[in-house]
């Protein structure tokens, strides 16, 4: 530990120049003679000087912060989004600051308020379903607001993602085209994971158009996991053993479903088709392939970050307001 933190003033004194010259030398801006630059750099080095960004940002009226709010870290999907954001920000000098809302709108509001108080240059939030007061705060911030992952709703400003309603519809059509007729559903935490709910609703719309409906469903209030998917699948199949397909709220749940079927000795996909959502690496490495729609989550993060950079650089630029991704379905073989 030891000595007190050194300030720019001390570096300047040590180098025998004014605060301003030291500042310029350290930032490499404008014209500073090579000689003095070196003196300043040396002094900074010797004092282990670390600039104070609070002062820098307060004084210059800008920060290098991009605030990011995601609902969870427990599902690998959001860390992957964050990785994409980090990559998209790389080389820009911008720094992502993450907050976790735990799928809780009140917590989300508080986190957003807290993040805004750091005067970020842009903010990236997950989803489009913030309550009115949160939306008002975001609008008032007068910075680029980028809502990601979901497209089904009204964005505050920029929007990068996919339509979960359509993803559900597409999967339903693909499964019907593959000849499946007795379908079940397994999901979890639908009251909080609104995007999973939108996929289910889309799926059910197509079923209805075809004069069908889920034969049976199992929904739990806990968050998704492989273990939960396994358990709910066992329950579902105990009630209705002759399903020929189960749609899951996501790949974690579907993987659990696959493991349940393997233990029951049900051939997948011949006897029963397992369909999830996300296209996790896990899903593609499984001994038996499951059907899934691949959400380009890393790319969504990267694109959102780049959009943020552009919008910061050119506040009145002609950036696209909405960037649409379409998930690709895989793992369904013909009927």
Partner DNA sequence: ATGAAAGCGCTAACAT
Partner DNA sequence: ATGTTAGCGCTTTCAT
Q: What is the contact surface with a copy of itself in residues (CB under 8 A)?
A: 1-5, 48, 50-58, 63, 73-74, 76, 78-80, 82-83, 86, 95-100, 113-114, 116-119, 136-137, 139-142, 157, 225-227, 230, 255-256, 259, 262-263, 281-282, 284-287
Q: Which is nearer to a copy of itself, 89 or 151 (CB)?
A: 89
DSSP 72: -
The phi and psi torsions of 57 (rounded to 5 degrees) equal: -70, -35
Q: Is 59 in the site for DNA (CB under 7 A)?
A: yes
Stretch that binds DNA, among 29-37, 139-147, 166-174, 276-284 (CB under 7 A): 29-37
Q: Which is nearer to a copy of itself, 18 or 52 (CB)?
A: 52
Cα separation, 214 vs 157, in Å, equals: 37
Among 1, 31, 140, 316, binds DNA (CB under 7 A): 31
Beta strands in the chain (DSSP E): 65-70, 95-100, 122-126, 145-150, 158-162, 183-188, 216-220, 245-248, 273-275, 292-294, 322-324, 328-330
Judge contact between 145 and 138, C-beta under 8 A. Answer: yes
Cα separation, 133 vs 334, in Å, equals: 48
Q: Is 322 in the site for DNA (CB under 7 A)?
A: no
Cis omega (within 30 of 0) for bond into 269: yes
Among 13, 36, 79, 282, binds DNA (CB under 7 A): 36
* Cβ neighbours, 10 Å, residue 4: 6
Q: Is 65 in the site for DNA (CB under 7 A)?
A: no
Q: Is 17 in the site for DNA (CB under 7 A)?
A: yes
Stretch that binds DNA, among 50-58, 83-91, 148-156, 195-203 (CB under 7 A): 50-58
Q: Which is nearer to a copy of itself, 119 or 326 (CB)?
A: 119
Q: Is 55 in the site for DNA (CB under 7 A)?
A: yes
* Cβ neighbours, 10 Å, residue 30: 7
Among 1, 28, 60, 287, binds DNA (CB under 7 A): 60
Q: Which residues contact 123 (CB under 8 A, 6 or more apart)?
A: 66, 67, 68, 69, 112, 115, 116, 138, 141, 143, 144, 145, 146
Interacting residue ranges for DNA, rule: CB under 7 A = 5, 7-9, 17-21, 23-24, 26-27, 30-33, 35-36, 51-52, 55-56, 58-61
């Amino acid at each position: 530990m030891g000595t007190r933190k050194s300030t720019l003033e001390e570096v300047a004194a040590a180098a025998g120049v004014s605060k301003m010259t030291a500042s310029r030398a350290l930032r490499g801006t404008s014209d500073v003679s090579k000689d003095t630059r070196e003196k300043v750099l040396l002094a900074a080095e010797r004092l282990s000087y670390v600039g104070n960004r609070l002062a820098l940002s307060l004084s210059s009226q800008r920060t290098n912060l991009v605030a990011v709010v995601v609902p969870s870290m427990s599902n690998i999907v959001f860390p992957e989004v964050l990785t994409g954001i980090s990559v998209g920000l790389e080389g820009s000098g911008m720094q992502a600051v993450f907050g976790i809302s735990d799928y809780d709108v009140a917590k989300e509001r508080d986190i957003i308020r807290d993040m805004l108080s750091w005067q970020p240059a842009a903010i990236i939030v997950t989803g489009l379903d913030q309550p009115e007061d949160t939306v008002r705060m975001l609008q008032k911030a007068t910075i680029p607001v980028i809502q990601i992952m979901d497209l089904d709703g009204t964005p505050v400003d920029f929007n990068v993602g996919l339509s979960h309603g359509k993803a559900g519809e597409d999967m339903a059509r693909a499964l019907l085209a593959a000849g499946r007729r007795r379908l079940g559903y397994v999901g979890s935490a639908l009251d909080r994971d609104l995007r999973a709910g939108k996929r289910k609703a889309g799926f059910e719309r197509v079923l209805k158009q075809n004069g069908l409906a889920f034969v049976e469903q199992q929904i739990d209030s806990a968050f998704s996991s492989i273990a939960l998917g396994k358990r709910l699948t066992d329950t579902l199949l105990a009630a209705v053993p002759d399903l020929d397909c189960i749609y899951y709220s996501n790949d974690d749940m579907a993987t659990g479903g696959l493991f349940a079927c393997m233990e029951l000795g049900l051939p997948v996909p011949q006897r029963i088709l397992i369909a999830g959502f996300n296209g996790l690496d896990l899903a593609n490495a499984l001994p038996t392939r499951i059907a899934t729609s691949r959400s380009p989550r890393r790319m969504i993060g990267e694109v959102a970050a780049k959009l943020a950079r552009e919008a910061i650089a050119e506040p009145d630029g002609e950036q696209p307001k909405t960037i649409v991704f379409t998930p690709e379905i895989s793992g369904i073989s013909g009927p």
